[in-house]
Amino acid sequence: AAPSKAELARVPPAIQLPPPPISKFKIALCQLSVTADKERNIAHARKAIEEAAEKGAQLVVLPEIWNSPYSNDSFPVYAEDIDAGGDASPSSSMLSEVACSRRITIVGGSIPERSGDRLYNTCCIFGTDGKLKAKHRKIHLFDIDIPGKITFIESKTLTAGENPTIVDTEVGRIGIGICYDIRFQELAMLYGARGAHLICYPGAFNMTTGPLHWELLQRARAADNQLYVATCSPARDTSAGYTAWGHSTLVGPFGEVLATTEHDEAIVIAEIDYSLLEVRRTNLPLGKQRRGDLYQLVDVQR
């Protein structure tokens, strides 16, 4: 049979949603306070992850840049060689240890990564065996200038990643984006077409765009693609050079806010129920109604 118009809207055609390995589980979003003391940041993150695991979380998400201040001056100083591991990367070593000892999946927020002579803003995903399952390097760098409000040019120090990241874990198929990546709906559409159940975006939105766009973008990505979206921000520190908005949130496949918090340090624990994905997609069959004769999303790497 000839492909339907809906199938043609995704090139190559969308992968059918894989049956998740688990239908219901708890996710924890650890909104951490971050200081200039790296050892303290690592110990503090470990404590939060362990607390989340004790509360029954099977998936723990950390914030963007949780081991270092968020600044171009800090990135080179706090950067780690993740591929070398061990002492060369104390932050990822800690995540690996805790994932294994607690038998949980960790989406490790992001840290500055040194690879050769380049720096990246990188998220490590660890499985329940403590092994590194995937590594996402922020694809879209945060280079903006809103006069009188906020100016930040990540590309002064960081290099953009080259690959979308989707990973099969013990808690489902997860797409990864970091902060500014959430603004590019094509990336989320691509994850949806690759069969993601959930997209995790560690992010540190600022005080200018946070109130306007942070929740809006999460809900849009979730509603457009009929999947779960989880975000995790650092806690707000008004004395820092960069002030984060906070408000770590879990959004369901209908664009509904399921759990969130304010700007102080917090651990948000919520339930994900993947059976809702099928329900929402049956109620609102967008996948069968796309017009591939009029528009297409092309997954270049697939």
Residues forming the active site: 64, 138, 179
DSSP string, 158-215: -------EEEEETTEEEEE--GGGGG-HHHHHHHHHTT-SEEEEE---BTTTIIIIIH
Query: 268 φ, ψ to 5°?
Result: -90, 120
Radius of gyration of the chain (CA): 18
Cα 133 from Cα 143, distance rounded (Å) = 29
Distances (CA, A) of 79 to 29, 73, 74, 136, 214: 23, 11, 8, 15, 27
What is the Cα–Cα distance from 41 to 60, expressed in whole angstroms? 16
CA 80 to CA 119: how far, in whole Å? Answer: 9
Q: How many Å apart are CA 187 and CA 28, to the nearest integer?
A: 24
Tokens of 12: 């190559």
Q: What SS3 state is found at 281?
A: helix
Using a 10 angstrom Cβ sphere, with 0-12 exposed, 13-18 middle and 19 or more buried, the burial of residue 26 is middle
Query: What is the spatial distance between Cα 159 and Cα 156, in angstroms, rounded to a whole number?
Result: 9
